[in-house]
Chains A and B, each alone.
Chain A
Amino acid sequence: MAESNLGTYSGRNEEWRLDLRKKLKNKERMAGSRVKMPEADPLSRIKSYVEVNSGLTEEQAVAEAQRCLDCVNPTCIEGCPVSINIPGFIKSIETRNFDNSIRILKDTNALPAVCGRVCPQEIQCEASCFYQTKLKKPPIAIGHLERFAADHARNSGKAFIPKITKKRNEKVAIIGSGPSGLAASGELTKLGYQVTVFEALHELGGVLKYGIPEFRLPNEIVDFEIDNLKKLGVNFEKNFIVGKTADFEDLREEGYSAFFVGSGAGLPMFMNIPGENYIGVLSANEYLTRVNLMGATKEDYDTPVFKGKNVAVIGGGNTAMDSVRTAKRLGAEKAMIVYRRSLEEMPARIEEIQHAKEEGIEFLVLNNPVEYLADKNGRVNKMKLQRMELGEPDQSGRRRPVPVEGSEYSLEIDLVIVSIGVSPNPLIPMSLPGLEISKWKTITVNSDTMQSSVPSLFAGGDIVRGGATVILAMGDGRKAAKNIHDFLQKKANSEMQANGQKNEQNKK
């Protein structure tokens, strides 16, 4: 069985793999073309929250798995932030050993059904696929296959819940139920620890629930994973803000001996331009939370949300794309992305940009808002924009947008969603004065162990990286869990030694 610390081990020399490679020649494997993900029709899907990608059929998945050459040097694994044994799980799909394929995935990825849907594969595993790098052909659809394996397992009704072999008494507190916290909680529970996840909101899942819309990631999938964690023995406490409801000292007194902070990024940024506080100008976090977490569009739900006719979403990331596509689904006649750089620099997943275009989203690139105007009731009704051009590359390596003199013009809009990034939530650092934080207000950790300046406290995900991805957050959670285990074992050993010495002395 593959172990994540074996790096790019893929089990390539196992007998079944040797046999499989003999069955079909590489030339035959290369003859197929990349599978196309079945999708809901753009015109009908924007009238509902149906998931856009409907998933590969078994036949499609097996055929796509056949394309994979099971390379001697599987570079795809290097492209994966958590080094999933990609050929291993794909070849298991080819032999229709779906149980084995999910087992391999779960070895390194706690949430394959989620990552198969939201990972930016085009810049990770798929970018490093032999087809892409050497053959200059479309890469293996690794993401689609990951999703297939996970969905197949979920629909099979089989629960892949590992047995806990050793029970340990130490209590570990996980702060935040986003992907990093969920991954850490699962690992630590498997190791036998008593784990409680504390979540500030009334729902579990972090960004997976309140941020990413259901047309991309149905809640049901997140809930299924959380249910499995519950079955494994993880405790969850909702409506509990660490640093407010109880602080670290209280939790220590209650017996928690180690902590993992996965509290996410959190605070939305604004541009600080005139008119930004008018009614109808809101952060993407607020907009998406109202719709996804609070059910604002559902019958009989109390939370209101604005339905704009002409909606401008400021920004070019996944959050911006999710917001603009949500606006379209809420009935916007014109829903547009306003982005200060060009399409090429957009950080959103390519698939999302593609889907957005199909849904009739307009892209106003090389444009930047400079002011918002409102009617007499303070409701935004116009925005002033400035055209931009690309100058020299900045620190991020992307060409810096510079305003074009005298290019200002105005546009009628009735809803503006600001999606220009988030900064880390200061609640945890504020409640723990000894904790070292960076100038970007992220928690500083040793990147090998995820340990912070407070020895019993580990952290990962967006609170450490600023804005990152689901897979990186999850990988951090797993890495931290391993190191929390080491930390607690060392602690127990040294306590045992100290006790031993004391007993010796007492005997004397």
Chain B
Amino acid sequence: MPKIISKKYLSEKVVQLEIEAPRIAKKRKAGHFVIVKIGKEGERIPLTISQADIKKGTITLVIQIVGVTSNKLSKLETGDEVTDIVGPLGNATHVSKVGTVLCAGGGVGIAPLLPIVEAIHKAGNKVISVLAARNKELLILEKEISASSDQVIVLTDDGSCGQKGLVTEGMEQIIRQEKIDQSIVIGPAIMMKYASMLTQKYNIPTMASLNTIMVDGTGMCGACRVSVGGRTKFVCVDGPEFNAHDVDFDELLMRLGSYKNEEAGAYKKLLI
């Protein structure tokens, strides 16, 4: 079973695990994710691969502690084993040289944004990153994103770090400042919805990376379906990245709440 090589808290509710997975490390590209399951009784959840080290044969996952499985994951320590991990899944980000790219990350969405920022920076694009979080404690990976960005704007809801405001305010500021050729938004569905509406207003091609409920992650169940341009797509095999302007974010938000009642029960039980 894959071993945990290192563990680090990025904030109180966000933990970073480096896991031994040489095959996945070798194959993964920016945009890929894995499915993880903890223990015999565990559920299968998708997590984006934030970084990989081919030499060490490890991948890095960043986990926001929100539910049963993320909680179980956060309780694992260096040297512990992850019961099941499979990947890399999904389609890799299409990376090409387009000019200036606006990358917006919200909350824990900054973790999956990191490999994409690195890849498009490496491809010779000018990268401007806008990072947003509720407060200073919840802002993660600012240093790493900065290392691959030409400019970074940080915003927090309460102004405890960077500017006070929402991600869209930071994005609009940049859009007014210079010509943006492409935009990438990753974060909570509600944030992506508004970020996408904004870039649509300015006619900027925009890509969103969707994080839906999943079971198998290989196209077998359809739990991950979402409407894109009026057609049903499976996020695990057709995505996870889609043209943001075509995504039905309201449906996505609705479907994310599918098991709200069932899950709340299980989570409460775990916390007792």
Contact = CB atoms under 8 A, between A and B. Distances in A.
Interface of A: 200-202, 238-241, 244-246, 266-268, 270, 272, 276-280, 282-283, 285-286, 289-290, 294-295, 298, 300-306, 377-378, 425-427
A51 B161 CA distance: 61
Q: Give the interface SS of chain B, mostly helix, strand, loop or mixed.
A: mixed
Given A244-B87, A294-B43, A302-B69, A283 B23 contact: no
Interface string B35-60: 00100011110000000000000000
Among B68, B87, B216, max chain A CB count under 10 A is at B216
B24 interface: yes
B165 interface: no
B42 A302 contact: yes
B97 interface: no
Given A286-B222, A294-B215, A277 B227 contact: yes
A290 B44 CA distance: 10
Among B83, B87, B215, B259, max chain A CB count under 10 A is at B215
Contacts of A302: 41-43, 68-69, 266
B219 A267 contact: yes
A378 B254 contact: yes
B174 interface: no
B223 interface: yes
B255 A246 contact: no
A188 B7 CA distance: 43
A245 B23 CA distance: 6
B138 interface: no
A244 B220 CA distance: 15
B251 A289 contact: no
Nearest to A294: B43
Interface in B238-272: 251, 254-255, 257-259, 262-263, 266
A309 to B, nearest CB: 14
B219 A202 contact: no
A200 B223 CA distance: 17
Contacts of B74: none
A290 B237 CA distance: 19
B221 A285 contact: yes
B41 A300 contact: yes
Among A238, A266, A286, max chain B CB count under 10 A is at A286
Q: Size band of the B side of the interface?
A: 35 or more
Given A302-B266, A426-B237, A245 B220 contact: no
A202 B84 contact: yes
B222 A268 contact: yes
A283 B222 CA distance: 7
Contacts of A377: 254, 257
A245 B221 contact: no
B255 A245 contact: no
A278 B232 CA distance: 12
B220 A285 contact: yes
B25 to A, nearest CB: 11
B122 interface: no
Given A202-B37, A282-B222, A304-B263, A245 B87 contact: yes
B6 to A, nearest CB: 22
A289 B37 contact: no
Nearest to A302: B43
Given A240-B86, A286-B215, A427-B219, A279 B254 contact: yes
B27 interface: yes
Nearest to A265: B220
Among B27, B69, B258, max chain A CB count under 10 A is at B258
A277 B256 CA distance: 12
A289 B216 contact: yes
